[in-house]
A and B are shown apart, each in its own frame.
Chain A
């Protein structure tokens, strides 16, 4: 199922890994729209648990995406043994909001 990012929200992306999160050396989540990388989250932006890594977008970050096109997301990571991995590219939708701006 294709997930939907709603503008002006704080969506959390949680990734279940095939290796222990403690073994991660690097971890990147890239969001691309209209052929351009709009946002990148690195390991320092993520929260690790035993086999999962999650990262949350801010309201401001969700406004980087326009609602008239889909967003593509991909994870790349490397472990301490030197292996590098890449996930498939996941398509995401962007939903608009009626009241603009951030909600504090």
Chain B
């Protein structure tokens, strides 16, 4: 092994300050060159920057003088080629060609074809009535289940898609009133008809049929919505050309001290454990409008409510419009309704599950629950009784629903016996003796408070 000599040197560091001491620094040629701007030799870079900024400011100020009226435009001799002039009285932009002022833009108009569905796809809170105007509606056409249309007398369908955002819930209204439509199709293209022989089914995403469809959540991947409305609905609510589709309000958590009503106070632990969850509702006319669901969604901060309820449905028909694929992300299943099952007896919990229209209430509800559990045992199933009506005495059927809930050990919210619908409050809560009244203080809001309170009671 060879030896290696190591020399220890004293630690001496030399710093030449001759060129580095301020205030007399050496100025590089690059800096000297940079000081010369637009023919001026500034003494420092700071002066150069400040001087040029002042020049620029002066130019901008001078440019603003090119705003005026048509009568105050400079004369032909006053302009230079490329000069630009904006007239406030006619909203036009003019450019000097060297011989005359020529109009080069119009601030009062949007160029034809410049606003396309793609450029408005960011809009989520506004209605799209224009997309249903008569000239863009397909008359006597109805959506089919493959994302195209077929001839169907009296139906209207929008020719151009309404831009939607996946996961958002949209409602339908005419002249400010919530309305039902017949069918909705979601697609990834904005046209319902084929162009140049393309296969429009390629862009088809999903179809939604319901006799009482007045809100819908855009599924994953959805970009455009198409709707069909029957002539009977249009007779009832108004022409489809006035239809407005709006994104419903995002759920918001309520304050801890939120008071539901004089009857029920949500405990201090609101927001509840249901915040951010998705609820699915099955039922009849009482739920089909989706009104009480909106209140409950707001009170509890639900992520979404998927409503598969339909007008006129008996208990045996509550699953008719339910689509398992659309319920894949559902956490809570809420079932309410029995008014239409007039022929059904209350029955007992010993009745076998049955989907027969005239089966007992117990048999019908047992069928619903067992069908749902067979699809997803993680569903949080909740049963509820309907509100009271002077036209329907269903106390024994309400009791039967409560017994079915107890049979399965699942929550039962007794709206019928706790929501304070009685002879004194019917005028306030009911609009026609059966259906709930709208708005603040109305039946839907009252019903929603009881339901929200019940859900919190069971789920915290």
Query: How far is B24's CA from A77's CA once the two chains are assembled, in angstroms?
Result: 13
* Pair B11/A9 contact, Cβ less than 8 Å: yes
Which residues of chain A come closer than 8 Å to B16, judged between CB atoms?
A: 15-16
* Pair B21/A90 contact, Cβ less than 8 Å: no
Which residues of chain A come closer than 8 Å to B23, judged between CB atoms?
A: 83-85
Which residues of A, 10-34, contact B by the 8 Å Cβ criterion?
10-18
B17 in complex: contacting residue of A6, A11, A17, CB < 8 Å: A17
Is B65 interfacial (CB 8 A cutoff)? Answer: no
Which residues of chain B come closer than 8 Å to A54, judged between CB atoms?
A: 12
Is A68 interfacial (CB 8 A cutoff)? Answer: no
Contact string against A for B residues 13-31, beta-carbon threshold 8 Å, 1 for contact and 0 otherwise: 1111111111110000000
* Pair A16/B18 contact, Cβ less than 8 Å: yes
* Pair A85/B15 contact, Cβ less than 8 Å: no
Please report the total number of A residues contacting B with Cβ < 8 Å: 23
Q: A85-B21, A85-B23, A85-B24 are in contact. Are A14 and B14 (CB under 8 A)?
A: yes
* Pair B12/A18 contact, Cβ less than 8 Å: no
Which residues of chain B come closer than 8 Å to A44, judged between CB atoms?
A: none
Can you list the 7 inter-chain pairs with the closest CB atoms, starting with the nearest?
A11-B11, A85-B21, A18-B18, A16-B16, A3-B13, A12-B12, A14-B14
SS of B interface (majority): loop
A72 CB to nearest chain B CB (Å): 13
Which residues of chain B come closer than 8 Å to A9, judged between CB atoms?
A: 11
Which residues of B, 1-58, contact A by the 8 Å Cβ criterion?
10-24
Is A39 interfacial (CB 8 A cutoff)? Answer: no
Query: How many interface residues does chain B have, given as a range?
Result: 10 to 19
* Pair B13/A86 contact, Cβ less than 8 Å: no
* Pair B17/A87 contact, Cβ less than 8 Å: yes
Query: How far is B15's CA from A86's CA once the two chains are assembled, in angstroms?
Result: 13
Query: How far is B12's CA from A15's CA once the two chains are assembled, in angstroms?
Result: 10
* Pair A14/B15 contact, Cβ less than 8 Å: yes
B12 in complex: contacting residue of A11, A88, A90, CB < 8 Å: A11
B449 CB to nearest chain A CB (Å): 60
* Pair B11/A12 contact, Cβ less than 8 Å: yes
* Pair A90/B11 contact, Cβ less than 8 Å: no
Q: A85-B22, A86-B22 are in contact. Are A13 and B17 (CB under 8 A)?
A: no
Closest chain B residue to A88, Cβ basis: B20
* Pair A18/B17 contact, Cβ less than 8 Å: yes
A18 CB to nearest chain B CB (Å): 4
Which residues of chain B come closer than 8 Å to A84, judged between CB atoms?
A: 23
Which residues of chain B come closer than 8 Å to A11, judged between CB atoms?
A: 11-13
* Pair B18/A86 contact, Cβ less than 8 Å: no
* Pair A13/B15 contact, Cβ less than 8 Å: yes
A75 in complex: contacting residue of B13, B14, B15, B24, CB < 8 Å: B15
A84 CB to nearest chain B CB (Å): 8
* Pair A13/B13 contact, Cβ less than 8 Å: yes
A14 in complex: contacting residue of B13, B18, B21, B24, CB < 8 Å: B13
Query: How far is B8's CA from A10's CA once the two chains are assembled, in angstroms?
Result: 13
